[in-house]
Structure 1
Amino acid sequence: MAVAISIAEAMTQASWIRRMFERGTELKAKFGAENVFDLSLGNPFLEPPSQYFDVLRELSERRHEGLHRYMANAGFPAVRDAIAKKLNDNGTFPGLTGDGVIMSVGAGGGLNVALKTILNPGEEVIVLSPHFVEYEFYIRNHGGVPVPVETDENFDIDVETLARGITPKTKGIIVNSPNNPTGRLYPRASVAAMVSLVREREREYGHPIYVLADEPYRELVYVDDVPPSAASLHDNGLLIYSWSKSLSIPGERIGYIAINPRIDDPMVFSSGLTFSTRTLGFVNAPATSQLAVLRLLDVTIDIGWYKQRRDRFLEGLRQAGYDVVTPEGTFYIFPRCPIPDDVAFVNRAIEEKVLLVPGSGFGRKGYFRISYCVDDATTEGAIAALRRVVA
């Protein structure tokens, strides 16, 4: 076998989105791209804000001595200080300094660094399901054991179910809010109840249980009352962020890990994250992107554009009879399938040239994910196709 058995097995488990991409390529070649409605990939549709290109132009035209050399593994001090100040000012992490911010190669890189730093072999990490499929691979990368814990029928945290999932081996909980694939923003009361439970179990077991708040969609919310980050409510909390969605730059791979200042021994923890950044081969986050986001900390894409797409899809889905929970954020909707078999439903949708991802790919059978970061023509064509699927 050309690759390790573990990789070959993992590739078969993680192939749904890739399968849809390949199927879409085939259909577009056969019927024309304008006749295929691809809702499978969560790839931001909007271009980055104009300010982003202005900053890149300035960085390229003005020479910054030493910009492209090696740097401290944790990133440029000025960038880390500015992020810490923002998280101080908005109340996320009062007392945070730049030492508690580690620049990362996107949120995926940040999660791998965090998991590498906290996990001993065989320790468990809970993922609230449905969940981003890569979480399970990230956890296994570092000798951990992923433990999916179901959310309720509205995709809210079910504290009783969570309580049954926490064991003496639990070392962390990944909290992705707003959530991929459901779009749900976990309510304030649910997050507070979860944190209370985690504190109780920490006291019982005598070791920390880290809350890893994965928040690349933090700005993509459509409600006014945004709950605080789960990482800000729990002393042993880590906030993992990227600008992939807020600035539409997923290809640039730039993010950070911020440490709750109340964590046990924050300086040692910062050193551990820095060491993991280096030894995982990331070395440091991209230099030019660090300086770019430094100048864009208060800039985002037009969030209203995505809200319009969300509202149009919700209207069309409900008119066609689909059962769907309103997402408060991201650019995803996670409707219930009209038949129990989500894979069969997705295959039926392919017959109408609309590409979806089955919920079983995210740990929740009987549902499907729509990514609505698409243009108007794709939106309307997909809604019409989804009507035909259930006609």
Structure 2
Amino acid sequence: KKQQEFGSVIYLISDEPYRELAYDGVEVPYLTKYYGNTIVGYSYSKSLSLPGERIGYLVIPDEADGSEELITAAAIANRTIGCVNAPSLMQKVIAKCVDAEVDVAAYDKNRLALYNGLKECGFECIKPQGAFYLFVKSPVADEKAFCEAGKKYNILMVPGSSFACPGYVRLAYCVSYDTIINSLPEFKKLAEEFGL
């Protein structure tokens, strides 16, 4: 409807490196089934737990308006930027393990331990249904100050305003289970500092 209203092609870009990391029976739909002008970006760095490796693909469906031009533009952008070209060694690695699956159970164990532990400390959290990040409501308006306070307890948090979510902080739980468990007493101290 908006394409017609504006008289312009509108592309939906779906960033899907966390597609396989879904919990509690959540299923991530393939948006290309519902909207022809969908472009999908995918990265194996998340699905195969290869942090830092920038190797993946784009899906530009034939049904997308101007698909040939889009494919050409993507190829030129890849060559121009250069830094996104995956090393040949990693291309060979991916070819050997492309059918491997991420161990969602390990991430889920961490997710539940961190979420439940933070709730017990008195923090307000959003229980994630995908990926490996958890958003915690900052007990003070300035979430950046809360992030700074966490450093005293060796807790590294990212301000939610970096993700268009002010008033919250983001925690990653793609660490060892022991790291999660060992962090909870420190989170308790941080909670007490803020009167939770």
TM-score tier after normalising by the smaller chain length: 0.7 to 0.9
Give unpaired runs (5+ residues) of structure 2: none
Q: Does 1:368 align with 2:169?
A: yes
Q: CA RMSD of the aligned region, Å?
A: 1.9
The aligned counterpart of 1:272 is 73
The Cα of 1:337 is off from its aligned counterpart by 1.2
1:264 to 1:376, Cα distance in 2 relative to 1, 3 A: closer
Give unpaired runs (5+ residues) of structure 1: 1-199
Distance in 2 between residues matched to 1:386 and 1:300, nearest whole Å = 32
The aligned counterpart of 2:160 is 359
Match of 1:380 among 167, 175, 181: 181
Distance in 2 between residues matched to 1:225 and 1:338, nearest whole Å = 29
1:211-230 alignment to 2 at 5 Å?
A: 211-230=12-31
The aligned counterpart of 1:136 is none
The Cα of 1:238 is off from its aligned counterpart by 0.5
Give the SS at the match of 1:256: strand
Match of 2:61 among 236, 242, 260: 260
Distance in 2 between residues matched to 1:221 and 1:201, nearest whole Å = 30
The one-letter amino acid paired with 2:191 is V
What is the TM-score when the length of structure 2 is the normalising length?
A: 0.88
The aligned counterpart of 1:312 is 113
The Cα of 1:360 is off from its aligned counterpart by 2.0
Give the SS at the match of 2:41: strand
Distance in 1 between residues matched to 2:54 and 2:183, nearest whole Å = 30
1:322 to 1:283, Cα distance in 2 relative to 1, 3 A: closer
Query: Are the counterparts in 2 of residues 238 and 258 from structure 1 also a CA contact under 8 Å?
Result: yes
The Cα of 1:293 is off from its aligned counterpart by 2.1
Query: Are the counterparts in 2 of residues 332 and 372 from structure 1 also a CA contact under 8 Å?
Result: yes
Q: Could you report, residue by residue, the CA deviation over 1:300-341 in whole angstroms, capped at 9, with x for unpaired residues?
A: 232211110000011111111211121011111001112222
Distance in 2 between residues matched to 1:251 and 1:370, nearest whole Å = 18
Greater RCO (Cα-Cα under 8 Å, separation 6 or more): 1
Give the SS at the match of 1:370: strand
Query: Are the counterparts in 1 of residues 142 and 167 from structure 2 also a CA contact under 8 Å?
Result: yes
Distance in 2 between residues matched to 1:271 and 1:282, nearest whole Å = 18
Q: Does 1:249 align with 2:39?
A: no
Q: Which 4+ residue blocks in structure 1 deviate beyond 4 angstroms? A: none
Q: Does 1:328 align with 2:132?
A: no
Query: Are the counterparts in 1 of residues 138 and 168 from structure 2 also a CA contact under 8 Å?
Result: yes
Distance in 2 between residues matched to 1:386 and 1:283, nearest whole Å = 37
The one-letter amino acid paired with 1:308 is K
Distance in 2 between residues matched to 1:264 and 1:232, nearest whole Å = 15
Q: How many residues align?
A: 192
Query: Are the counterparts in 1 of residues 109 and 177 from structure 2 also a CA contact under 8 Å?
Result: no
Q: Could you report, residue by residue, the CA deviation over 1:76-128 in whole angstroms, capped at 9, with x for unpaired residues?
A: xxxxxxxxxxxxxxxxxxxxxxxxxxxxxxxxxxxxxxxxxxxxxxxxxxxxx
1:1-391 alignment to 2 at 5 Å?
A: 200-281=1-82, 284-391=85-192
The Cα of 1:283 is off from its aligned counterpart by 8.3
Percent identical across equivalent pairs? Answer: 35
Distance in 1 between residues matched to 2:133 and 2:51, nearest whole Å = 16
The one-letter amino acid paired with 1:257 is L
The Cα of 1:237 is off from its aligned counterpart by 0.9
The one-letter amino acid paired with 1:223 is D
Q: Could you report, residue by residue, the CA deviation over 1:336-381 in whole angstroms, capped at 9, with x for unpaired residues?
A: 1122221221222222222211212222221111111222332122
Give the SS at the match of 1:245: helix
What is the TM-score when the length of structure 1 is the normalising length?
A: 0.46
The one-letter amino acid paired with 1:304 is A
Distance in 2 between residues matched to 1:225 and 1:364, nearest whole Å = 22
